Amino acid sequence: MGRKYSQELLDKIIERQEVVKIKGAKVLVKSIPDSDEKGAMDPRLYNNMKRQIILMRFLPKRLFKFDTSPKSISKLRGMFNKVKSNPIVEKEINIIHETVEANDGYKIPIRIYKSKTIKENAPILYFIHGGGFFAGSPDVVEELVKLIVEKTDILAVSVDYRLCPENPYPTGHEDCYSVLKWIYNNGESFGGNKSNIFVAGDSAGGNLTQYCTTKDMEDGLGMVKGQLLLYPTINMANVEDEFFKWSRDEFEISPKYKRGVEMTLGIFEGLSDGLGDVLGTKDIKNEYLSPYIREPKGLPPTFITVGEHDFLKVECLAYAAKLNKVGVKTETILYKGLGHAYGDDIGVYPQSEDCAIEMGKFILKYSS
């Protein structure tokens, strides 16, 4: 199908980017490539959401509340599990299907991605998909993973961990950590370098990523060389401090796009409120589900990216500031005009491809 945008737009993202300080931390801000309007939605995103925005005007606010009934979960999975990317990867990528044994004997499906031109002793990307802990799959992020492999010739692994609510917390978290240990012990047989493992994840997958890094540090194994957090869920308990206090005043919104932006903020606010229920725990104020509250000193190099109009923007930029304050090497990218989950839209938005390129650069930069 190919890209829905021109190379010129990709180039303009780079030309127009600038570094600014937010809460004391350096943030690389990437503007909409073809718009200077402050607080605007990217025109491609807006066009894709027009119908939803119109429909949402007529829906009662109670429907924005996250319903954890089986019927609601099934419906949301249908939405979240749609593959939205356009195939743009041209290089042949070999996908190997394996399983990893979990703590309880369950066979966790994984996918291993190798290009024919894989680097010798290649760095390893371990990608954990998002979906609110109850949805999503490796299919949704596969084009993102393949694009990073194409651009860098590294080895990549993705995981199909068990989902809530059928498998309550910490099952999915422990599945992801079991796969990390498997990669460390077996990655070299596929051409990877166990000394250069980078864990990455989007949204809830970002939470699972941080869990893997945290457990690795606690166990003293030194498996994680760096982590990449794409609009991660990291402060589920909404703990306030010098960097974080959620407010709609944190969002610059053009009047033209007010309805669209506020609609997406409302949807994710409703989802966020129900995560404890879907996870099957009332203890969301722990250092695994809300890693924001943990002392971050000693974390490996960290990449954080988030959209300007993402509900999670406030906590993501706060986390970047917190990591920066204690000396963690942190690279943060803010995409103007976007909301949540743009990693799912490779080939649809130029910013999505740009993000994949930046992820690859981060991995190569911190590989030894």
Q: What letter would DSSP give residue 92?
A: -
- What's the confidence (pLDDT) of residue 197? 98
- What's the confidence (pLDDT) of residue 352? 98
CA–CA dist 86, 367 (Å, integer): 29
CA–CA dist 103, 2 (Å, integer): 41
CA–CA dist 297, 294 (Å, integer): 9
| Strand-by-strand arrangement of the 224-230 sheet | 18-22, 25-30, 330-335, 302-307, 224-230, 192-202, 122-128, 155-159, 107-115, 93-101
pTM for this predicted structure: 0.96
For strands 107-115 and 122-128, give the pairing: unpaired
The alpha helices in 280-312, defined as continuous H runs, are none
- What's the confidence (pLDDT) of residue 62? 55
- Percent of the chain's residues with pLDDT above 90: 86
CA–CA dist 22, 38 (Å, integer): 17
User: Cα 119–122–128 angle (5° rounding)?
Assistant: 125
Q: What letter would DSSP give residue 42?
A: P
pLDDT digits (tens, 9 = 90+) for 255-297: 999 988 988 887 777 677 778 899 999 999 999 999 999 999 9
Cβ proximity of 56 and 260 under 8 Å: no
- What's the confidence (pLDDT) of residue 269? 72
Cβ proximity of 158 and 138 under 8 Å: yes
DSSP 185-228: HHGGGGTEEEEEEEEEEETHHHHHHHHHHHHHHHHT---EEEEE
> Six-digit token pair at 312?
């999670």
Angle formed by the axes of helices 258-273 and 43-56, nearest 10° = 70
Phi, psi (degrees; rounded to nearest 5) at 245? -155, 110
pLDDT tier for residue 67 given thresholds of 50, 70 and 90: confident
What average pLDDT does range 232-253 have in this prediction?
A: 95
pLDDT tier for residue 68 given thresholds of 50, 70 and 90: confident
The structure tokens 């004391």 sit at: 24
pLDDT digits (tens, 9 = 90+) for 158-215: 999 999 999 999 999 999 999 999 999 999 999 999 999 999 999 999 999 999 999 9
- What's the confidence (pLDDT) of residue 236? 94
In the beta sheet, which residues pair with residue 345?
A: none
> Six-digit token pair at 3?
């890209």
User: Would you say residue 55 has pLDDT above 70?
Assistant: no
| CATH architecture for residues 7-366 | 3-Layer(aba) Sandwich (3.40)
In the beta sheet, which residues pair with residue 113?
A: 95, 156
CA dihedral 92, 98, 102, 106 (to 10 degrees): 120
CA–CA dist 343, 269 (Å, integer): 20
User: Would you say residue 61 has pLDDT above 60?
Assistant: no
- What's the confidence (pLDDT) of residue 349? 98
CA–CA dist 310, 338 (Å, integer): 7
